[in-house]
Amino acid sequence: MEIMAKMWGQLGSITATVMLFYAMFDRFFPPPLRQYLRTYTQKLTSLINPYISIKFSEFEGERMKRSEAYTAIQTYLSANSSERSSRLKAEVVKDSQTPLVLSMDDNEEITDEFQGVKLWWCSRHLEVKNQSFSFYPASDEKRFYKLTFHRRHRHVVIRSYIKHVLDEGKAIATRNRQLKLYTNNPSSDWYGWKRTKWSHVVFEHPASFDTLALDSKMKEDILKDLVKFQKGKEYYAKVGKAWKRGYLLYGPPGTGKSTMIAAMANFLNYDIYDLELTAVKENVELRKLLIETSSKSIVVIEDIDCSLDLTGKRKKKKKDKEEGSKDAVKKALDEEEDKESKVTLSGLLNVIDGIWSACGGERVIVFTTNYVDKLDPALIRRGRMDKHIELSYCCYEAFKVLARNYLDVESHRLFPRIEELFQETQMTPADVADNLMPKSVEEEAETCLERLIEALETAKLEAKKKAEEEEAKKKAEEEESKKKKAEEEVKENGELAKKEEENNKKSGAGVKENGFLSSGN
Ligand SMILES: Nc1ncnc2c1ncn2[C@@H]1O[C@H](COP(=O)(O)OP(=O)(O)OP(=O)(O)O)[C@@H](O)[C@H]1O
Ligand SMILES: [Mg+2]
Question: Residues 25, 127, 91, CA angle at the centre, nearest 5°?
Answer: 140
Q: Which residues pair with 56 in a beta bridge?
A: 145
Q: How confident is the model at residue 190 (pLDDT cuts 50, 70, 90)?
A: low
Assess whether pLDDT exceeds 90 at residue 436. yes
Residue 518 in any domain: the answer is: no
| Same-domain status, 34 and 153 | yes
Does ligand 1 lie within 6 Å of residue 259's CB atom? yes
More confident site: 231 or 189: 231
Rounded to the nearest angstrom, the distance between the alpha carbon of 220 and the centre of ligand 1 is 19
Q: How confident is the model at residue 82 (pLDDT cuts 50, 70, 90)?
A: low
pLDDT tier at 455 (50, 70, 90 boundaries)? very high
Average pLDDT score over residue span 113-123: 92
Examine the domain organization and report whether 284 and 216 are in the same domain. yes
CA of 254 to the centre of ligand 1 (A): 4
Indicate if the pLDDT at residue 27 is higher than 80: no
Mean pLDDT, residues 414-419 taken together = 95
253 pocket-lining for ligand 1 (C-beta < 6 Å): yes
pLDDT: is 431 or 314 the higher one? 431
Domain edge (last residue) among 119, 148, 177:
177
The pLDDT assigned to 377 comes to: 86
Q: What is the amino acid identity at position 261?
A: I
- Quick check: CB of 430 below 6 Å from ligand 1? yes
> 474 in a domain, yes or no?
yes
369 lines ligand 1 (CB under 6 A): no
CA–CA separation, 30 and 15 (whole Å): 24
Residue nearest ligand 1's atom 31 by CA? 430
Q: Which atom of ligand 1 is nearest to the CA of 402?
A: 4
Average of per-residue pLDDT across 448-456: 96
Q: How confident is the model at residue 373 (pLDDT cuts 50, 70, 90)?
A: confident
Residue 361 lies in a domain: yes
**Binning pLDDT at 50, 70 and 90, where does residue 218 land?**
very high
- Identify the pLDDT of residue 49: 83
C-beta of residue 176 within 8 angstroms of C-beta of residue 154: no
Residue 284 has a CB neighbour count (10 Å cut-off) of: 12
Contact 204, 97 (CB under 8 A): no
- Among 116, 110, 112, CA closest to 152: 116
Q: What CATH number should be reported for the domain holding residue 356?
A: 3.40.50.300
Q: Is the pLDDT of residue 133 over 70?
A: no
CA–CA separation, 456 vs 469, rounded Å? 20
Judge whether residue 131 has pLDDT over 70.
no
Are both 78 and 152 inside the same structural domain? yes
Q: Both 431 and 370 in a single domain?
A: no
Both 195 and 67 in one domain: the answer is no
Q: Would the CB of 184 count as within 6 Å of ligand 1?
A: no
Residue 497 forms part of a structural domain: no
The pairing of strands 59-60 and 65-66 is: antiparallel
Query: Does the beta carbon of 249 lie inside 6 Å of ligand 1?
Result: no
Residues 361 and 230 in one domain: yes
Residue 259 CA: nearest ligand 1 atom is 18
The ligand minimizing its distance to the Cα of 207 is: 1
Could you report the predicted ipTM of this complex, rounded to two decimals?
Answer: 0.98
Cβ–Cβ under 8 Å, residues 437 and 448: yes
* CA of 430 relative to ligand 1 center, distance in Å: 5
Which of 259, 394, 396, 437 is the best mutation target for the ligand 1 pocket, counting ligand atoms within 8 Å of the beta carbon and taking the most? Answer: 259
Residue 375 carries which side chain, given as an amino acid letter? L
Of 307, 287, 417, residue with least CA distance to 360: 287
- Listed residue (306, 335, 336, 333) closest to 322, CA to CA: 333
Query: Looking at per-residue confidence, does 17 or 212 come out higher?
Result: 212
Give me the mean pLDDT over the 236-240 stretch.
90
- Looking at the domain assignment, is residue 170 inside a domain? yes
Q: What residues contact 164, with CB distance under 8 A and at least 6 apart?
A: 114
pLDDT at 383: 76
Instruction: Give the domain range for residue 167.
Output: 24-129+140-177
pTM above 0.80, yes or no: no
| Other C-beta atoms lying within 10 Å of the C-beta of residue 269 | 11
Local confidence band at 80 (pLDDT 50, 70, 90 cut-offs): confident
Task: Please answer whether residues 296 and 362 qualify as being in contact, where contact means their C-beta atoms are separated by less than 8 angstroms.
Answer: yes
Q: Do the domain assignments include residue 14?
A: no
Model confidence band, residue 86 (pLDDT cutoffs 50, 70, 90): low
88 and 157 share one domain: yes
Helix, strand or coil for residue 434?
helix
| CB hemisphere CA count around 289 (13 angstroms) | 32
Cα separation, 494 vs 302, in Å, equals: 61
Which residues make beta-bridge pairs with 129?
139
Give kind and range of the element (H or E) at residue 83: helix 68-84
Distance of CA 177 to the CA centre of its chain: 19
Which ligand has the minimum distance to the alpha carbon of residue 393?
Answer: 1
Residue 433 above 70 pLDDT?
A: yes
Q: Which residue has the higher pLDDT, 306 or 250?
A: 250
Task: For the chain, report the end-to-end CA distance as a whole number of angstroms.
Answer: 165
Pick from 335, 310, 313, 210: nearest CA to 263 = 210
Residue 228 lies in a domain: yes
Instruction: Note the pLDDT of residue 388.
Output: 94
Residue type, 45: T
pLDDT of res. 315: 43
DSSP 153: G
Each residue of 270-283: pLDDT tens digit?
A: 999 999 988 888 88
Pairing of strands 100-104, 88-92: antiparallel
The percent of residues above 70 in pLDDT, for the chain, comes to 75
The answer to which of 167-176, 472-481, 509-518 has the lowest mean pLDDT is: 509-518
Give the burial class of 114: count Cβ atoms within 10 A of its Cβ; 0-12 exposed, 13-18 middle, 19 or more buried.
Answer: middle
Question: Residue 246 has what DSSP assignment?
Answer: E
| In the predicted structure, residue 103 carries a pLDDT above the cut 80 | no
- Are both 158 and 215 inside the same structural domain? no
Could you give the 3-state DSSP secondary structure of residue 112? strand
pLDDT of 186 reads 79
Collect all residues with Cβ–Cβ distance below 8 Å to 103 and sequence separation of at least 6. 74, 77, 78, 81, 82, 88, 89, 91
Ligand 1 mean position, distance from CA 257 (Å): 6
Q: 190 and 163: one domain?
A: no
pLDDT of residue 251: 95
The mean of the pLDDT values for the chain is: 81
Q: Which ligand is nearest to the CA of 394?
A: 1
Q: What average pLDDT does the segment 388-413 reach?
A: 94
Does 170 share its domain with 194?
Answer: no
- Tell me: do 172 and 187 sit in the same domain: no
The predicted structure's pLDDT at residue 389: 95
Let me know if residue 69 belongs to a domain: yes
256 lines ligand 1 (CB under 6 A): yes
Looking at the fold, whether 267 and 221 belong to one and the same domain comes out as yes
Number of domains in the chain: 3
- More confident site: 408 or 307: 408
Distance 210 CA to ligand 1 centre (A): 14
Residue 518: pLDDT band (50, 70, 90) is very low
Q: What is the pLDDT of residue 366?
A: 95
Q: How far, in Å, from the CA of 383 to the mean position of ligand 2?
A: 24
Q: Are 272 and 179 in contact (CB under 8 A)?
A: yes
Substitution site in 250, 258, 370 for ligand 1 pocket (most atoms within 8 Å of beta carbon): 258
Give the residue, 124 or 93, on which the prediction is more confident: 124
Closest-lying ligand 1 atom to the alpha carbon of residue 214: 1
Q: What is the DSSP string of 295-344?
A: SSEEEEE-SHHHH--TTSHHHHHHHHHHHH--HHHHHHHHHHHHHS----
Measured CA to CA, the distance from residue 446 to residue 435 in angstroms comes to 12
Of 11-25, 167-181, 418-432, 481-495, highest mean pLDDT: 418-432
